Amino acid sequence: VATARSSLKIGLVPADGIGREVIPAARLAIEALGSDIPKPQFVDLLAGFELFQRSGTALPDETVDALKECDCALFGAVSSPSRRVTGYSSPIVALRKILDLYANIRPVLSVAPTPDEKPKVDLIVVRENTECLYVKQEELKHTENGREARATRLITERASRRIGTMAFELAAARPRKHLTIIHKSNVLSVTDGLFRETVRSVPRLNEGRFDDVQIAEQLVDSAVYRLFREPQIYDVMVAPNLYGDILSDAAAALVGSLGLVPSVNAGDNFVMGEPVHGSAPDIEGKGIANPIASIRSAALMLRHLGYAAPADRLDKAVDEVVRQGTVLTPDLGGKSKTEEVVAEILKRI
């Protein structure tokens, strides 16, 4: 539920590549909402690999400090250097940690041919964002039999419970109210066993709040298989970090272009919208980046803050443009430029 605010302070971090082409589009879309939301106050902020190359830092302290003063933010994309670069680490990964954005939420939704029809794919992947193999504790040993590498996989009750609670909340707010817990506890009975058991225990700790959510569970391999064969069976899926990463990219493939898929990184006190795509160096500067993933990320961010109706307005405008099919960027088979697609969407907002 939206808390009363007189203005909405929104940090904008376009960062690298097409991030600089699509984040301004999201800004325009938010501005077009007019008085439907508290007056937006945008704060332009720097981060990224290109900034690192210019200045030696990928995430300046000023950016972090300014973000802490914002209500929410939109992040564009960071280029990933093809080789390890000394002194560089990803600013988005750092921001997720610093702002404690423990959930990565990715709705994957296909646009139905008409507004009355059901979309073929309409699901949300809720990915734990802070642990699992992403604690990046790896070691390499030289043994008599050659090299041996190990990685630590961390699963805690605390992180599993908070991601589980977020997933139940999302499921409870959707018409189907169905949650699938993804794991591999037949093999990893201790780590995945703890994840599964902890998520399952969430309703018990919430005194009836989630009683109407139907719970299913599935092994990650069979989940990928069924996702491709019958995506319509899924509503909300919750998974540990690595499975969630793989599932959410796989799910994105079901709806065509990466240029359509939004996400938010969410914690208890902050939410940051981020298109799922990367910096797309192959199309950078050509003016043909699809702005839809960013605009939908802005919608998702607003929805998360409790502004459901304005978020719907953004999503509806986007759906109409996709459905109409005449003004689209090349990734969707069209011939239009980013700015033409943006203009078409703004007109409908």
Binding mask 20-59 for ligand ATP (x = CB under 6 A): --x-------------------------------------
- In the region spanning residues 278 to 317, those forming contacts with ligand ATP, defined by CB under 6 A, are 278-283, 289-290, 293
Beta-sheet strand order (sheet of 103-109): 39-44, 7-15, 72-77, 271-273, 264-266, 103-109, 122-128, 236-239, 178-183, 214-219
Minimum CB distance to ligand ATP, residue 71 (Å): 25
| Residue 259, binding choice from ligand ATP, Mg ion, none, Cβ under 5 to 8 Å by partner class | ligand ATP
**End-to-end CA, the chain:** 22
Q: Which is nearer to ligand ATP, 79 or 198 (CB)?
A: 79
Binding mask 267-306 for Mg ion (x = CB under 5 A): -----------x----------------------------
- Of 134, 234, 243, 307, which is the active-site residue? 134
Contact 303, 169 (CB under 8 A): no
Minimum CB distance to Mg ion, residue 78 (Å): 10
Q: Is 108 in the site for ligand ATP (CB under 6 A)?
A: no
Q: Which stretch binds ligand ATP (CB under 6 A): 32-40, 159-167, 199-207, 272-280?
A: 272-280
CA distance 235 to 108: 10
CA distance 13 to 113: 34
- In the region spanning residues 138 to 197, those forming contacts with Mg ion, defined by CB under 5 A, are none
CA distance 58 to 318: 32
Q: How far is CA 220 from CA 48, 184, 194, 227, 305, in A?
A: 33, 6, 15, 10, 31
Minimum CB distance to ligand ATP, residue 16 (Å): 7
Minimum CB distance to Mg ion, residue 77 (Å): 8
Burial class (CB in 10 A: 0-12, 13-18, 19+), 28: middle
Minimum CB distance to ligand ATP, residue 92 (Å): 10
Enzyme catalytic residues: 134, 184, 221, 245, 249
Binding site for Mg ion (CB under 5 A): 278
